[in-house]
Amino acid sequence: MTARWIAASALVVGIAAWARPDDPAPEPGAAETAIARGLAYLRGDPSDLSARIVLDYLQRKYALPADLAYDATPRTDEDDRKLRVWGRFVGTDQHPEQAALGRFPDDSATPAIEAMVMHALYCDRFALPAAYGELIARLAVAGDYELTHAVLAMKLAEDRGCAVRVQGAARPADLARQTRALVSRAPGDPRFEPLDVRYEALAVLEDFLADRSPPGAIARLVAEQQPDGGWRPSADQPSAPHPTVMAVWALLAWTRPGVPEVAFARP
């Protein structure tokens, strides 16, 4: 797998077939204002480890203020436990055993999200199985969160220089098509619609798949920001760090196209 993996999605599948010309874009300056408010919210609530990991990536890629870089002080015992494996995301590699990364299924079952991501993160140390591309394809069609994490796993493997034989639903054009369908989905019942998965999809579509989101999807994202500056995981819940960092990521990628790539995890 090479850098062409990302570029191929933009070449193979254009936006004309899925973005309506009458989709409204955000008001001028609205996305930048939303980014600033979202970052202020994240500064005030560092409780979510996964959000801090993503924010560290955004700080490096978009040259955000230095105080948004990862703070190595664990917030909870659970953070400390996760960092034994997750630490490589932020440059605190504790050299876990391969078994700690999770197991792949022996049959046609859907692989676990965390196992797929963690094996990609450490693929330069522990070789991926020959069937990893097939497992990615299974993950990509298993659900919405599974799709966004399939894209993340492919990005991590590419960053680490690990070859993956892509096939089926793991091909760049197929991942892009499925992700566009997710971000363009008509709103459902707000009591049950998970919002953060749509924000994740917008982020990886713009950033990892190098494909532009419909302006209307970005305007909708801006409109869903809450008075406290955060975004909610669902309509019946308060703002939280995870959906907020995903929303900020999507807006940064949309407002700053062409920023040079950086590795998602620290070297």
Q: What is the mean pLDDT of residues 146-158?
A: 96
- Which residues are within 8 A (CB) of 143 and not within 5 positions of it... i.e. 6 or more apart? none
For residue 168, the model assigns a pLDDT of 84
Residue 262 clears pLDDT 80, i.e. is over it: yes
For residue 191, the model assigns a pLDDT of 66
Which residues pair with residue 194 across a beta bridge? 234
CA separation for the pair 86, 91 (Å, rounded):
9
Using alpha carbons only, what angle is made at residue 166 by residues 180 and 254, rounded to the nearest 5 degrees?
30
Least confident of 2-11, 216-225, 257-266: 2-11
Least confident of 35-39, 205-209, 213-217: 213-217
Q: Which of 74, 17, 12 is nearest to 49 (CA)?
A: 74
Least confident of 5-14, 107-116, 137-146, 154-163: 5-14
Residue 9 clears pLDDT 50, i.e. is over it: no
Residue 179 has a CB neighbour count (10 Å cut-off) of: 28
For residue 19, the model assigns a pLDDT of 37
pLDDT digits (tens, 9 = 90+) for 68-123: 999 988 788 999 999 999 999 999 999 999 999 999 998 889 999 999 999 999 99
Residue 234 clears pLDDT 70, i.e. is over it: yes
Residue 253 clears pLDDT 70, i.e. is over it: yes
CA separation for the pair 151, 165 (Å, rounded):
14
- pLDDT band per the 50, 70, 90 thresholds, residue 170: confident
